[in-house]
Amino acid sequence: MFKRFLNRNMFGVLAILLALFMAGGNAQATQTDATGQWRYSLVNGGAYIDRKVDAPRGNLLIPNELDGYPVTGILEGAFEFSDKLASVVIPEGVTDICDEAFMGCESLTSVTFPHSVLNIGNKAFYGCHRLTGLSLPEGLTSIGGLAFDDCWYLADVLLIPNSVASIGINPFASCDIAYFNGPSDNPVYVNIDGVLFDKQQKMLVSYPGAKEGVYAIPEGILHIGDYAFLRCESLTDVTIPGSVTSIGEAAFVRCEGLTSVTIPGSVTNINDWAFSHCYNLTSLNLPDSVTSIGKYAFSLSNLTDVTIPASVTFIDKTAFYNCYGLILSVAKGSYAEQYAEENGILYRYSLPEAEKLDATDQLFFVVEDGAATITLYVDGPEVDLIIPEELGGYPVTGIGEYAFWHGNVESVIIPAGVTYIAGNAFYIDDEYFGSNALRFYVAKDSYAEQFAQENYVHYDRIDASGQWKYRPDWEDDDYEDGVAIIGYAVEPTGDLVFPSELDGYPVVGIGVDLAIYYGIKGALEGCADLVSVTIPDGVVYIRDGAFKQCGSLTSVTFPGSVTIIDTEAFYGCGALTSITIPGVDCIFERAFEGCGALTSITLPADLEYIYDKAFEGCGELVLRVTEGSYGEEYAIENSIPYVLVAE
């Protein structure tokens, strides 16, 4: 966690000196008043309260005099961490509220300021989470750094008096303020669209924490102040103009909604904590002007891709602390490459002049010797990825280092034309062989198939047409040369006729055995626009969930070779009306469950078994069976209407 309690040397000891040596006077030793309730010091004839002897609680009315001396100030830390304090009334005559005077008073909801208050010190009300309805007095001249930081319930519009002449580091960081109002004619500060700037409009001082959406910093601004955007959780996109030369310390810390930031070529340093805890920031390109990146600058973010130019000569070792999944794009031989090596951060070489982006905005590639090599996959939906045979008119022949290291890729179809895959192109966990592990679909006898075998990658084949995924079917030795269709590259629609062979192998099955048990999607499950299916002769098995939830499927033509219709094979095919299964031996559980429009199934005489709930939810179904067959017996036992047909 970054250091929220800034070194007091950053603010100086101005407030302490102001309190104890006001107008050149000397402070006397701290003493207790006659009531025994208050400790105070005398400064220039006025009492500066040091603390209340008994811990304050509830509603506190600070006296306007002690032992005959007017109360004119509240010393540093006087009431800090008084967690039972609910409200405070500060009397007329008090001019100074020193550093951290009420810091950490978590139950404090209300503060009444007199018109006499001139100075509110650094962190004076820091962490007063429940403080609401702040009204700053006219006549106030200075507000210290982070004075009201972490006052979460300070909301809506805040009026800054015209008398304010000095504002420290973002006094209103981590507040829920939507808009700063005033100072309209202040000689030092100005608000533009509710954002606080110095009068010369050279520094952005404070951005309201509740201001939402996209923000473009006005042209002409030179500096973004320290903590200026701290915890602006509703900010999603910020554009920094070319006039800005410095981004302050912790400027964008905890901008948790920030997804995009444009850093111009005028910025030379990324200061400490600048973009720490920006959880939704995933990629960033640093301009060639940047030379250094400070402590924890991008820590605890979800950055996966950062381009660091060769101009960078220093990066603190904590700059990318806890940025899991990060890959740096660096120039070969640069300091950034050395930094990545020394700190165990993944990196790839950036090729800014040669690199191109495909039409889908997902694949970066370079062209060498008339062929394309993929250099980076930009995160997309967690679905199958089809690597195209060409990019930009160039044949795809290579997949470069770390290209798919952090992409949301469950499986990838690799064309036969790919002849090189870098050993670290994909994230491959040799110890993980679960159903969700990365899987290749490759052409028979291709380089990609060889790569998968050598690197222990799960793989199946894609046929020569590029449409059908398949694998050998090992269910029965009789079909050891056969294959099962287990999926597709492009979702089929309309009328589908399955091929009887793929790459010279006979098709003997459709789907994956035990797919439901392993949580694997059925071969054509959810193909919403599939209308009719013709299964070729030679297919023996229709596996688990093969056509599950194909809601538009009205017709299926079975050959006599099909002997098994497996679990949930046609589950939820609500448009299916009538089918004939000439050679089936066994129909497994829930095979046709939820086929509400199914009115007729013709079963063969030699059918051997039907499992439980095979026709659950088929309320209009009439079975067509032969007399004395298992089908007739099943219909009777399960009270399903049936008619007898000739064999």
What is the DSSP track for 335-350? HHHHHHHHTT-EEEE-
- Give the span between the Cα atoms of 336 and 214, in whole angstroms: 31
Q: Which tokens sit at 605?
A: 């005489």
- Give the span between the Cα atoms of 232 and 250, in whole angstroms: 12
Task: Spell out a b/e string for 470-494, using b for 16 or more CB atoms within 10 Å of the CB, else e.
Answer: bbbbebeeebeebbbbbbbbeebee
In the numeric block, the tokens 């920030």 are attached to: 258
* pTM score, whole prediction: 0.59
Give the helix/strand (H/E) hosting 636. helix 630-637
478 in helix, strand or coil?
Answer: helix
Residue among 635, 602, 1, 641 at smallest CA distance from 299:
1
Amino acid at 592: F
Q: Which tokens sit at 178?
A: 């939507």
Task: Please report the pLDDT score of residue 20 as a whole number.
Answer: 43
Instruction: Identify the CATH number of the domain defined by range 1-174.
Output: 3.80.10.10
User: Which ranges of the chain have pLDDT less than 50?
Assistant: 1-25, 352, 381, 429-436, 476-477
Nearest 10 degrees: CA dihedral of 293, 298, 299, 302? Answer: -150
Q: Are 131 and 102 in contact (CB under 8 A)?
A: no
- Give the span between the Cα atoms of 204 and 190, in whole angstroms: 10
Instruction: For residue 605, report the phi and psi dihedrals to the nearest 5 degrees.
Output: -65, -30
In the numeric block, the tokens 């304010």 are attached to: 164
Q: Are 290 and 267 in contact (CB under 8 A)?
A: yes
Task: Please report the pLDDT score of residue 106 as a whole number.
Answer: 95
Nearest 10 degrees: CA dihedral of 568, 574, 577, 581? Answer: -10
- Give the span between the Cα atoms of 180 and 193, in whole angstroms: 8
Q: Are 313 and 291 in contact (CB under 8 A)?
A: yes
Instruction: Identify the CATH number of the domain defined by range 467-644.
Output: 3.80.10.10
Q: Which residues contact 101 (CB under 8 A, 6 or more apart)?
A: 74, 75, 76, 77, 78, 79, 80, 121, 124, 125
Residue among 126, 73, 122, 66 at smallest CA distance from 97:
73
What is the CA angle 471-472-476, rounded to 5?
Answer: 140
Residue among 208, 212, 200 at smallest CA distance from 171:
208
- The helix/strand count (H/E) of the chain reads as 6, 54
- Give the span between the Cα atoms of 415 and 398, in whole angstroms: 10
Angstrom CA distances, 63 to 89, 93, 396, 469, stand at: 9, 10, 81, 84
Angstrom CA distances, 121 to 100, 180, 205, 245, stand at: 7, 20, 17, 29
Task: Please report the pLDDT score of residue 297 as a whole number.
Answer: 96
Amino acid at 138: E
Q: Which residues contact 343 (CB under 8 A, 6 or more apart)?
A: 317, 320
Amino acid at 342: E
Q: Which residues contact 539 (CB under 8 A, 6 or more apart)?
A: 498, 507, 508, 509, 510, 559, 561, 562
Task: Please report the pLDDT score of residue 261 as a whole number.
Answer: 92
- Widest CA span of the chain, in angstroms? 119
- Give the span between the Cα atoms of 547 and 565, in whole angstroms: 11
Angstrom CA distances, 361 to 356, 364, 398, 449, 468, stand at: 10, 8, 18, 27, 26
Q: Which residues contact 466 (CB under 8 A, 6 or more apart)?
A: 413, 415, 489
- Give the span between the Cα atoms of 74 and 55, in whole angstroms: 16
What is the CA angle 230-234-239, rounded to 5?
Answer: 75
- Give the span between the Cα atoms of 307 and 317, in whole angstroms: 17
Q: Which tokens sit at 485?
A: 């269709």
Question: Which bin fits 10, alpha (ψ -120 to 50), beta or left (φ > 0)?
Answer: alpha
Q: What is the DSSP string of 229-275?
A: TTT-TTEEEEE--TT--EE-TTTTTT-TT--EEE--TT--EE-TTTT
Length of the chain: 647
